[in-house]
A = this chain, B = another copy of it.
Amino acid sequence: MPQYVSLRMQQQVQIIMDIARLVKNTAMFQSIEDTDLALLLERAHQRPYQKNREIFAMGDVAEAFYVVLKGWVKLYRLSREGGESVIHVLGPGESFAEAAVFNNSRTYPVHAQALEETVLLEIPRSFFVQKIEEDSQFALRILAAIASRQHYLVQQIEQVTTRTAPQRIGAFLLRFCEHKEGNARGFWTVNLPYDKSVIAHRLSIRPETFSRALAKLSPYGVKTNPSGEITITDMMALTDYCDISLFGKPC
């Protein structure tokens, strides 16, 4: 039954094309050549994760790094008393743990967990190292990616140490607007991509405080619709209040 086989093949091809498209959307592989992309897809594995599933634990040996194809991933650390500090939350097209595979200890410095039904591309360390050794341009691209990750962390530290809770929330909301290119009549709508409690932790705020702090932003044009989405009516005021430099993009 050739029709059946051809259908299967067609599906396969479709899936691979989809992955290829997603991979090309990542900062790290956006200018990868097709021959290399083929090689990558051969060596890398697609892995599904259920909601709340652990991807790796802090201290695990780092044999691979990841690209998010679908869903959301939380990177976090735990203190002995169970205090959680969220280092990053990553969505489709973003990569993580690139640096861990190069660390001398070669262990992950954080825990990683899927926040939703998530699909990752798992890229083995060996492929990575080989690629760097034979292609210095690739090495430079990796360095750029890791450098901007570092930039992000530096910003994170600044935010947590010098801004108040409402300011951090405002800054977080504004980031989403940067991507969205703004609604015509001067106001933006943000649909929070994951639970508020996750956002709260990402900003080092307790959920209760998050709730109160969000309310404090109403004088600066931030309204929360009953439907759960947030609209920003006065972007200037909010930007000003949050003391955003606006020349440091998220990541």
Q: A79-B162, A143-B143, A243-B80 are in contact. Are A99 and B157 (CB under 8 A)?
A: no
Q: Note all chain B residues with C-beta closer than 8 A to A100.
A: 147
Judge whether A233 is part of the interface by a CB distance below 8 angstroms.
no
Q: Note all chain B residues with C-beta closer than 8 A to A155.
A: 109
Q: A158 CA to B80 CA in the complex, in Å?
A: 12
B150 pairs with A146, CB closer than 8 A: yes
- Enumerate chain A interface residues (CB-CB to B < 8 A): 59, 77, 79-81, 83-85, 87, 99-100, 102-105, 109-110, 129, 132-134, 136, 139-140, 142-144, 146-151, 153-158, 160-163, 204, 243, 247-248
Q: Note all chain B residues with C-beta closer than 8 A to A157.
A: 85, 87, 153, 156-157, 160
Identify whether the interface residues of A are mostly helix, strand, loop, or mixed. Answer: helix
Q: A151 CA to B147 CA in the complex, in Å?
A: 13
A81 pairs with B243, CB closer than 8 A: yes
Smallest Cβ-Cβ distance to A156: which chain B residue: B157
Q: A80-B243, A146-B146, A148-B104 are in contact. Are A109 and B139 (CB under 8 A)?
A: no
Count the copies.
2
Q: Note all chain B residues with C-beta closer than 8 A to A150.
A: 99, 109, 146, 149-150, 153
Q: Note all chain B residues with C-beta closer than 8 A to A102.
A: 140, 143-144, 146-147
Q: A133 CA to B156 CA in the complex, in Å?
A: 32
Smallest Cβ-Cβ distance to A244: which chain B residue: B80
Q: A139 CA to B163 CA in the complex, in Å?
A: 36
Q: Which interface residue of A81, A153, A155 has the most chain B CB atoms within 10 A?
A: A153
Q: Note all chain B residues with C-beta closer than 8 A to A105.
A: 247
Q: A102-B140, A154-B153 are in contact. Are A161 and B109 (CB under 8 A)?
A: no
Q: Note all chain B residues with C-beta closer than 8 A to A139.
A: 132, 136, 139, 143
Q: A109 CA to B208 CA in the complex, in Å?
A: 33
For the complex of A and B, the 3 pairs showing the least CB-CB separation, nearest first, are A99-B147, A153-B153, A102-B143
